[in-house]
Structure formats: C-alpha cells, structure tokens
Amino acid sequence: MKMPGNMQQMMKQAQQMQERLQQEVALIRVEASAGGGMVTVKMDGQKHVLGVTIDPEVAGDVEMLQDMVMAAVNEAAKKVDDEARQKMGGLLGGMGLPPGLF
C-alpha cells in the first residue's frame, strides 16, 4: 500500500528521530548512591549496571547492604528514565506535535 508523500516523509522523519533518540539514550551515564554514599551504582542508558562501589564499613551488615544496593540501583534507574524523557521531549518538541502526545 502506497502512502501519500507527506505521510511517507513523516514516517521517515519519525524513524530517523527514533534512531537518534536510541543513540542519545545509549550515551546516558548516571550515578546514584544510598546510605550517604556508602553504596554507589553507575548505570548506562539501557539500565545496565556499569559499576558498584561499596564502602567496606557496611560489608559486615548484609541486610543493610542489600537494602542500600537496591536503593542505589532503583535511584539510578529513575535517573536514566528522567534523562531519557528529557531527551525525548527535546527531540519531539522539534516535530511540532501537540503537548502530551508522548
């Protein structure tokens, strides 16, 4: 099925924007900590954990350590989401779409 030229152009533009967004999201790097910096997690835009730093002082308390690692990972994931949302808003803003569409 052949689409009108205008629709084809819009689809092509949307695909290019999606590719550019994926590239920008891949470059995201965030860091989050818990327990006053006793546990720090580094994460990329695909939410892959790149590194974990643990203060040896908390290594003895396994339950507290588990809670801090979980909190730091969750905070890092939230930061990735926030940055990706900002990048998407910036890219989609240039398309002239109505607010709240994405």
The per-residue pLDDT for range 47-71, each reduced to its tens digit, is: 999 999 999 998 889 999 999 999 9
Q: What is the pTM of this model?
A: 0.72
Query: What CATH number was assigned to the domain covering residues 28-89?
Result: 3.30.1310.10
Could you give the CA distance from residue 97 to residue 54 in angstroms, rounded to a whole number?
45
Six-digit token string for 68? 């801090």
Mean of all residue pLDDT scores within the chain: 86
The answer to whether residues 31 and 51 touch, using CB atoms and an 8 Å cutoff, is no
The answer to whether residues 49 and 73 touch, using CB atoms and an 8 Å cutoff, is yes
Six-digit token string for 43? 């994460």
Q: What is the pLDDT of residue 97?
A: 53
Alpha helices for the chain (secondary structure H): 5-26, 62-93
